[in-house]
Amino acid sequence: MVNRNLGSLILAGGVLLVSAGCPAKEGTGLWRWEKKEGTSLAILGPDGPLWQLNYGPDDDHVYFHPLMTTEGSLLTWDRPPDHIWHHGLWFSWKYIDTVNYWEVDRETGRPAGRTSWSNVWVSTGKDLEARVDMDLDYRPVGAEAPVLTEKRLIEVQPPDADGVYAIDWTGAFEAAADVVLDRTLPPWEPGGQYNGGYAGLSVRLAEALVDREIMTSEGPAETWAHDRYRGRHIGLDYSGLAAGRPAGIAILDHPGNPRSPTPWYVIRSSPMSWFNPAVLTDEPLALRAGETFVLRYRVLIHSGRWDAERLKNEAARFAAESQ
């Protein structure tokens, strides 16, 4: 993990701030780790969590919620009533061999394709850094053997002097059988739908986010159809006003990812703020048993608005740090 330990978090008037020059120490009274065995990991302050990673045995997916800025703005939404299978920041395939791993079945309340995890190993540092390793299996309900496996590494960096903190999300996948990773057909394919084309790492942003802007590494997103944007970029930032303060979440695509620069799928509608580096948008991914691939992303939680130059610089740093 790259340590950008440039400052410590303090609390002033109920608002989280960053103070340069003094490393944040575990258990100082301002911040503490909350580890619920087999369930969650969070950094807690006097007013609640800065972030929380959830991986309980009854969850359908591993996910982050809440994600807060160091100014105290909430940026994620878990289980919104319009899509109860959305979980803040989370990863899910849509279809594996036509089985749905994304949406819940109305009769069972669970997806027909199950994502399960084991061997969860959690490590936390004194400067608010964390590392979580786990093994994941993907299998249809009732199947004894997985069709796809994953070794996942999640690394959370401490906030820097500007209050920006990063989540590095890496998934190393191996096909346990011949499989096809697929999506709802996008609108340009026969029988496709205007809302098709998604799968993978996704963010559902907070309900209260207003004055929303989407910035790509090439400039503002300007071509929209059905409140949706699609384009290929090395990075994308979704920002808005949260409780009157500008803030956002950026995701960076690693140049070693399949089909990089990734196609993006972005929704800016009422009430949905959502985006996804959609590796399957253009075509499915067919794998033979034993074939492998790796997906790596960096997620950055920040105050303010970011421009294209900032995204390019952050993407270059991510590529250099994770070669």
Domains of the chain: 7-321 (2.70.98)
pTM flag (> 0.95): no
Per-block average pLDDT, block size 10, for the chain (323 residues)? 36 34 42 94 90 97 97 96 97 98 93 98 93 98 96 97 97 98 97 96 98 98 96 98 96 98 97 97 98 98 98 97 81
User: What order of strands is seen across the sheet that includes strand 130-140?
Assistant: 113-124, 130-140, 148-156, 165-175, 292-303, 245-253, 235-242, 210-216, 219-220
Query: Which pLDDT belongs to residue 13?
Result: 32
Query: Which pLDDT belongs to residue 106?
Result: 86
Query: Which pLDDT belongs to residue 268?
Result: 98
Query: Which pLDDT belongs to residue 47?
Result: 76
Structure-token pair, residue 125: 């540092």
The string of DSSP letters for 13-76 reads TTEEEEEETS---TTSSS-EEEEETTTEEEEEETTEEEEEEE--TT-SS-EEEEEB-TTS-B-B
Query: Which pLDDT belongs to residue 48?
Result: 86
The H or E element spanning position 318 is helix 308-321
Burial class (CB in 10 A: 0-12, 13-18, 19+), 98: exposed
Which amino acid is located at 190 in the chain?
A: P
CA distances, 193 to each of 157, 225, 286, 307, 309 (Å): 38, 12, 22, 31, 34
Query: Which pLDDT belongs to residue 127?
Result: 87
Letter string b/e over residues 243-270, b meaning 16 or more CB atoms within 10 A of that residue's CB? eeebbbbbbbbbeebebbbbbbbbbbee
| Chain position carrying tokens 């903190």 | 165
Query: Which pLDDT belongs to residue 30?
Result: 78
Half-sphere exposure (Cβ direction) of 227: Cα atoms closer than 13 Å: 11
| Chain position carrying tokens 């008037």 | 13
Q: In angstroms, how far is the first alpha carbon of the chain from the final one?
A: 12
Query: Which pLDDT belongs to residue 25?
Result: 39
Query: Which pLDDT belongs to residue 9?
Result: 42
Query: Which pLDDT belongs to residue 45?
Result: 84
Closest to 22 (Cα-Cα) out of 124, 148, 161, 117: 161
Structure-token pair, residue 136: 């994941």
CB neighbour list of residue 12: distance below 8 Å, 6 or more residues apart: none
Closest to 218 (Cα-Cα) out of 239, 230, 234, 202: 234
